[in-house]
Structure 1
């Protein structure tokens, strides 16, 4: 077990705040004092004023899945206008009064107040701990950070309202090489582990390696709105209890289990995944994208080169985007994982699905299946479309095994719908 020297970052006096303000940011903002001088100010005190963000009581970024217009199945979809705040989408931090934190090996850093904190330096066995008030918004600015730990997260958010992890135009790396040690009754399992809402953004890169656990885990919402991420994990790459929401950014994932996983056992409206934009390059040992209640894709480029099942949820809604996937089992699968209708709705986008041989389906719904638009290419040796309920091809350009179809070649309970010809569609 490592010996830790805990550096407590407590409430600042006005003089120290002014000192931190003058210090500026070493690479994120030119000019100002050296990083060493800024670190001296932070060591004494490191509470820094935060940029403007709505309070928890007034924030409009509610992520309840039951909002928006009804789909063909009667299931509601997400209203994307409420999902991301202005600060979520801002790719640079307000460094006017940012505090500087120089990381050191063997020393944890504890942040206990709202503010903007610029992290830099290389360290081993060091954790940045956020233990701030429940209404505090904390922004961690990564400005050339390397953290390698044996058994603890690189970033551990214990308490806060919301935490932003923002990469400057710099290269950053975080790795945990062994099994995670628990924090009391809390089972830590990720390189970045948060018990509060978590947003990742910025203009730089962040490489994450988790040899025996997850990459990034949030017990609330996990959002990505910018930046470049390379994530290698033994378990899930991105994991959240309430929701995973992606607006932009480039994320490359090599996961031993699911690439994206959102699951909530207590609230059937949560445990969902929303993708508006960005680029996802995925190789997954299990599912590429798995949500409990909903997966909604409104845009972006998604390439799932390896998976057991490509996309899975209770309800899958595809409105737009460029999607290409390979699955050993089902490609796009709607199964009963939460209360509510089980269905697949495709309204747009360009979708290329290839599945392996055996009892596999390119599109498999344990409920209804609607194709209303989009360009769909299916390569499936056994079954292209499988639905237990209503199956309708209402629009779009659909090709199955090289042949364009105008009626749904649907099979029942697997098999029989692999060819391009007309199958047993139930009317």
Structure 2
């Protein structure tokens, strides 16, 4: 019950330990304790199962001593490789700790580490690198962590491969400075999942400075933010499937998306940062409040930034820039919310916005300039806004006389019968904003509701032939921003000076006449 494999070597070079079926239990200390070694390599021999188990209390020589603090502990660099299995049961504190650099490079398909720990699962103080193998972690603290806060070049976590499953009471993977994911399959559940209110920080991926994701498959169910950085987040590849009790992806300073697939299936706010730049990627966001929010300030790594807890400024030079990508937002609050400015030069953006009149599918304080791409935003009418008159691409804000039920087909075509829009909003709606290169100043357009459309919808958009339902209104587009339909109280569109933009409603009042 008090077995221990201890390493104490002053020699330079590697100390290699081959584990080929060991079962070490120590009720009062660490089963493996590397006190001193230049670099220790633990190889899990192919086909073997190895077990390390400690007790709930360690016995130290004096009150000042608090290490080792893990069932597998190294005071220096540590590498774990091989094709066997290591099962660590840590009843005292952490599972595996390397106080310098910790690298895990197991043989894919056979190498495995299983950790159950009352506190953190796997820690590399200076750095933690995972190259391959299967890692399963059940932790009462953080799942994986690098926590050196004294050197800006340390406190780093890099996930380049592996099949990683983490269930953690606190953060899933936490880096004091930088966290990068370039490969692997990650499944993280933190704080009990997105339906739970966590008492402590329970983020999925978290970094004190930057998060960079270039590849891999990442599935997160987090009570707190699914992906969080105190400075910036860059996503250029990979597949992210995120469910969050707070923000899907949150960066205090900058969030840049250059590619990949991001699905935020549950969140309070989907994407949030002071500056958001979307250049490419497939993005789907579902939010109980704002879908995409740009605002200033920081919530740091505060516990569970639930509604109203993020200390973001109300307005300022905060920007949402959309240069490309396919973006779908389903929000009960504002769809695109900028406490500053929005600029769109390309891409496809679809917003299924709020039903309450105190929110809007589009909500900006500074301005919204659009020069390219396709924008479709449906929502309530009370605070509806369109892009402003600084735009070089034309926009339409159409307001219905009454709220239309969710799933109502809306069709807009020109005088020649060419389709401008065929769309079924996911929520009840009274306004639709459309901006498209096909929308022409001076042209006459007709709005229909109901009817049928051939083919299947892609995020509510149809491209097949339309069979008409009820003719609502015909109107002439006039200027950069056309407002048509019913007069509804509230704010609709902005000019650079902050006043209402666009044109007054035109054409006959909404009616129910059938198409000739």
Shorter-chain TM-score range: 0.5 to 0.7
Match of 1:218 in 2: 124
CA shift for structure 1 position 418: 7.0
Q: CA separation in 2, counterparts of 1:205 and 1:349?
A: 28
Where do residues 391-410 of structure 1 align in structure 2 (5 Å cutoff)?
391-401=320-330, 409-410=336-337
CA shift for structure 1 position 401: 2.2
What does the per-residue CA deviation read over 1:45-93, in whole Å, with 9 as the maximum and x for residues that have no partner? xxxxxxxxxxxxxxxxxxxxxxxxxxxxxxxxxxxxxxxxxxxxxxxxx
The equivalent position to 2:204 in structure 1, one of 288, 313, 338, is 288
Where do residues 126-205 of structure 1 align in structure 2 (5 Å cutoff)?
126-133=30-37, 136-143=38-45, 144-151=49-56, 152-158=69-75, 160=76, 162-168=77-83, 170-177=84-91, 179-180=92-93, 190-203=94-107, 204-205=111-112
The equivalent position to 2:141 in structure 1, one of 211, 223, 235, is 235
Match of 1:29 in 2: none
Q: Secondary structure at the match of 2:70?
A: coil
Q: CA separation in 2, counterparts of 1:331 and 1:223?
A: 25
What does the per-residue CA deviation read over 1:393-420, in whole Å, with 9 as the maximum and x for residues that have no partner? 1110111129xxxxx822439xxx8728
Q: CA separation in 1, counterparts of 2:222 and 2:319?
A: 30
- Whether 2:366 is the aligned partner of 1:422: answer no
RMSD: 2.3
Q: 1:411 to 1:381 in 2, by over 3 A?
A: farther
- Whether 2:354 is the aligned partner of 1:354: answer no
Q: CA separation in 2, counterparts of 1:328 and 1:296?
A: 22
The equivalent position to 2:25 in structure 1, one of 121, 124, 130, is 124
Contact 1:383 1:411 survives alignment (8 Å): no
Contact 2:220 2:241 survives alignment (8 Å): yes
Q: CA separation in 2, counterparts of 1:348 and 1:215?
A: 31
Match of 2:484 in 1: none
Contact 1:380 1:418 survives alignment (8 Å): no
Q: CA separation in 2, counterparts of 1:150 and 1:376?
A: 47
Q: CA separation in 1, counterparts of 2:124 and 2:162?
A: 18
Q: Secondary structure at the match of 1:309?
A: coil
CA shift for structure 1 position 423: 3.4
Match of 1:52 in 2: none
What does the per-residue CA deviation read over 1:261-295, in whole Å, with 9 as the maximum and x for residues that have no partner? 112xxxxxxx1100010010010011001101100
Contact 1:276 1:299 survives alignment (8 Å): yes
Contact 1:391 1:426 survives alignment (8 Å): no
Where do residues 248-327 of structure 1 align in structure 2 (5 Å cutoff)?
248-263=161-176, 271-285=177-191, 286-313=202-229, 314-327=231-244
What 5-or-longer segments of structure 1 have no aligned partner?
Answer: 1-104, 181-189, 264-270, 336-341, 403-407
What does the per-residue CA deviation read over 1:292-321, in whole Å, with 9 as the maximum and x for residues that have no partner? 110000000000023311011010100100
Contact 1:331 1:362 survives alignment (8 Å): yes
Match of 1:108 in 2: 4
Q: Secondary structure at the match of 1:349?
A: strand
Match of 2:438 in 1: none
Q: CA separation in 2, counterparts of 1:284 and 1:426?
A: 38
Bigger relative contact order (CA 8 A; separation at least 6): 1
What does the per-residue CA deviation read over 1:17-44, in whole Å, with 9 as the maximum and x for residues that have no partner? xxxxxxxxxxxxxxxxxxxxxxxxxxxx
The equivalent position to 1:387 in structure 2, one of 286, 294, 298, is 294
Q: CA separation in 2, counterparts of 1:362 and 1:312?
A: 12
CA shift for structure 1 position 324: 0.5
Contact 1:245 1:274 survives alignment (8 Å): yes
What TM-score does the superposition give when structure 1 sets the normalisation length? 0.63
Q: CA separation in 2, counterparts of 1:392 and 1:426?
A: 12
CA shift for structure 1 position 197: 0.2
Match of 1:344 in 2: 255
What TM-score does the superposition give when structure 2 sets the normalisation length? 0.52
Contact 2:166 2:188 survives alignment (8 Å): yes
CA shift for structure 1 position 332: 0.5
Q: CA separation in 2, counterparts of 1:353 and 1:426?
A: 26
Q: 1:261 to 1:426 in 2, by over 3 A?
A: farther
Q: Secondary structure at the match of 2:327?
A: strand
Match of 1:11 in 2: none
CA shift for structure 1 position 354: 2.6
Kindly indicate which of the two structures has a greater share of residues assigned to helix.
Answer: 1
